[in-house]
Amino acid sequence: MIPTMPFGRTGHDSTRVLFGAAALGSMSQQRADATLELITGHGVNHIDTAASYGESELRLAPWLVDHRAGVFLATKTGERTGSAARDELERSLTRLGVDHVDLIQLHNLVEEDEWQTAFAPAGVVEAMAAARDEGLVRHIGVTGHGLRIAGMHQRSLEAFPFDSVLLPYSAVLLRDPGYREDVEVLRSTCRARGVAVQTIKAIARRRWREDDQSRRLSWYEPLRDPDAIDRAVRFVLAEPDLFLNTTSDATLLPLVLDAASRLDRPFEVPTDAELEADIDDHGIEAIFDGGALERI
């Protein structure tokens, strides 16, 4: 089983690995059911989906009939105005078949114009705070991609008391000194305020090559070597304040869950030399660069 820890100040003890339900977006219901049984068997008690993840919310609905009480359920809105975000939230509740979610997240809030709209009167922040007061959501978080996001999350936390943040985190991304510094500042703020820190892209290898004809189950090419995946997972979970969201490539889910399941026993933190060797041996590249590669 995968160990748990408090998900920030929410009062919920979440498994260190959170199920990234983007993996369900294009699945049949039968395959989605099998995937959800897999995570249930490992004790995963936190589901992270989004309105924009294809059929993910619909695929979760049948499973939630019997498991809603035992799971922390998070979804996301990509809307920036209050009215559109409220409509999207209500649509998500209907699709999920629930009367509330535990966490609504402002999805990929990075760009300046979108940030200004989100925090303006009648913006998404105001609307989600009202939805919280009504009991439709219990907590509010913010997510994002790219090397600017840690700094933007810091700014967002100064403007509103979000309960969680989500951002990319891997050995190759932390090679960037500016990003590494921003991440450390953000983590310090989150520890002081009881804000949960979720990470993504732990097992990203690189962006897809144009001539690569492999089946694409995620927008980036993931690692596939079991040992490299194991080290990448341990690299994140060795940090006691971080949660790891699983990849949208569900074929790799067993490897990620297996690595995390060993956290309740003594395990070796991967060395810098091992991580550098993986970067070289597997051609791992940063999938964000602060510029041209910021948008996915």
pLDDT digits (tens, 9 = 90+) for 119-143: 999 999 999 999 999 999 999 999 9
pLDDT score for 266: 66
Q: What is the pTM of this model?
A: 0.96
The structure tokens listed for 31 are 């395959």
Q: Which residues contact 136 (CB under 8 A, 6 or more apart)?
A: 89, 90, 93, 99, 100, 101
Mean pLDDT over each residue of the chain, to the nearest integer: 95
CA distance linking residue 48 with residue 159, whole number of Å: 24
Within a domain: 169: yes
Within a domain: 296: no
| Higher-confidence position of 131 and 265 | 131
pLDDT digits (tens, 9 = 90+) for 207-229: 999 888 888 878 899 999 999 99
Residue 281 confidence (pLDDT) above 90: yes
Residue type, 220: Y
Within a domain: 116: yes
Q: How many domains does the chain have?
A: 1
pLDDT score for 80: 98
Within a domain: 293: no
User: Which residue segment(s) compose the domain that 144 sits in?
Assistant: 4-281
Within a domain: 107: yes
pLDDT score for 192: 98
Mean pLDDT of 192-218: 92
Cβ-based burial of 239 (10 A; exposed 0-12, middle 13-18, buried ≥19): middle
pLDDT digits (tens, 9 = 90+) for 175-188: 999 999 999 999 99
Q: Look up the CATH number of the domain holding residue 28.
A: 3.20.20.100
Mean pLDDT of 273-281: 97
pLDDT score for 295: 67
Within a domain: 290: no
DSSP of 8-49: TTSS-EEESEEEEGGGGTT--HHHHHHHHHHHHHTT--EEE-
Residue 88 confidence (pLDDT) above 90: yes
User: For the CA atoms of the chain, what is the radius of gyration?
Assistant: 18
